[in-house]
Amino acid sequence: MVTTLITAIGMFAIRSISQIDQAVGFSRQSGQTNALAELGTTAAMAQIVVLGSYYTTQMDNGGLCLANGPYATTLGSTCYRIKQADIEGTTTSNGAETLLESAVAGSESGSFGPLANTTGFVSIELTEKYKSNGTPPGTQQGSGSSFDVTMTTTANVRPISTNPDPCGDSVPAVTVKKVLRAHTIVPGQPGGS
């Protein structure tokens, strides 16, 4: 009887420790997703400051943005998606690095830690373009119109899978998604509209 009780207590303790470890892992993945969303937002804002009028012009071409919800295909809906590859194309061409660094086995490198079998994805949607009132501080004289834009950043962090089917059996079930929204003023460019 004593042996059975001790065994039961031991099994309960092992199960509890396992669940605590799992919860800590999920909490870490959630924190990493939040940091990736903030990084994507910051990188997109830096790019918008440089290429502002390009993005506001592209928004008029419409497109499908999830942030627009049911109004995504409505006439007059403004939308432009900035993909992670677009941001990384700009940063790497200027000598900087990509948003995320791959883990290298046996080293302390990698955005998600040396033992992480995890990857992240980020995308930014620019929607709800309205002409802003006045000239924002720091805007160059003679620049084009400035616009108030809603920027929605979506970040996903999930374990790496080699299965091409996103709903396949070998695809990990734990994906953390974080969405950030910001209202930003996109400055006009000299000679811009």
Domain ranges of the chain: 2-186
Residue 60: pLDDT above 50? yes
DSSP state of 8: H
- Which pTM was predicted? 0.71
| pLDDT given at position 101 | 75
Residue 140: pLDDT above 60? no
Residue 192: pLDDT above 50? no
Over range 141-164, report the average pLDDT. Answer: 76
Query: pLDDT band at 84, cuts 50/70/90?
Result: confident
Those residues whose C-beta lies under 8 Å from the C-beta of residue 188, and which sit 6 or more positions away, are 52, 53, 139, 143, 144, 145, 146, 147
Over range 162-186, report the average pLDDT. Answer: 73
Residue 81: pLDDT above 80? yes
| pLDDT given at position 135 | 63
Over range 135-152, report the average pLDDT. Answer: 70
Query: pLDDT band at 31, cuts 50/70/90?
Result: confident
Query: pLDDT band at 17, cuts 50/70/90?
Result: confident
Among the listed ranges 80-89, 138-147, 154-163, which one has the minimum average pLDDT value? Answer: 138-147
> Cα 143 from chain centroid?
30
The dihedral built from the CA positions of residue 89, 91, 96 and 97, taken in this order, carries a sign that is negative
Query: pLDDT band at 193, cuts 50/70/90?
Result: very low
Stated as kind and residue range, the H or E segment containing 6 is helix 2-59
Distance of alpha carbon 188 from alpha carbon 134, whole angstroms: 12
Over range 100-123, report the average pLDDT. Answer: 71
